[in-house]
Amino acid sequence: MTPAQTQNRSARTDADTVDTAGPQVGDDMTVEVALAVMAGARTGHLLVCDDDGLCTGLVTRAQLTTVRDSSVYTDRIRLREIPGGEHDNPCAPAPVHT
């Protein structure tokens, strides 16, 4: 018998655990509205789409909360203005490993 391998769950990042399926919102949405959408959808992230409906990024509740709590925050900040909201092709399907 071989011992069962265990997975170190603490080494996982937010990007590893984010399910890319979920609410899609426009990049012109404000931070406050995005937080309200997240709360209503009971999700921790939103896929951000441009005017053509193409996915351009992903924002998390933590990112939006950080922006909202910053000293430069105004209620006019749009999702497209948040630095670090982009990920490597967040809307692409997961690669298939053979």
pLDDT of residue 88: 54
CA distance 22 to 18: 10
Give residue-wise pLDDT tens across range 4-56.
544 443 343 444 444 567 799 999 999 999 999 999 999 999 999 999 989 98
CB 90 within 8 A of CB 14: no
CB 69 within 8 A of CB 62: no
When divided into structural domains, the chain yields a total of: 1
**Residues of the domain holding 37:** 20-81
pTM of the model: 0.68
In a domain, 73, yes or no: yes
CA distance 45 to 32: 14
pLDDT of residue 22: 78
The CATH number assigned to the domain holding 50 equals: 3.10.580.10
In a domain, 97, yes or no: no
Would you call 52 exposed, middle or buried from its count of C-beta atoms within 10 A (0-12, 13-18, 19+)? exposed
Q: What is the separation, in whole angstroms, between the first and last Cα of the chain?
A: 27
Q: Is 72 left (phi over 0), alpha (psi -120 to 50) or beta?
A: alpha
> Could you tell me which residue, 68 or 22, shows the higher pLDDT?
68
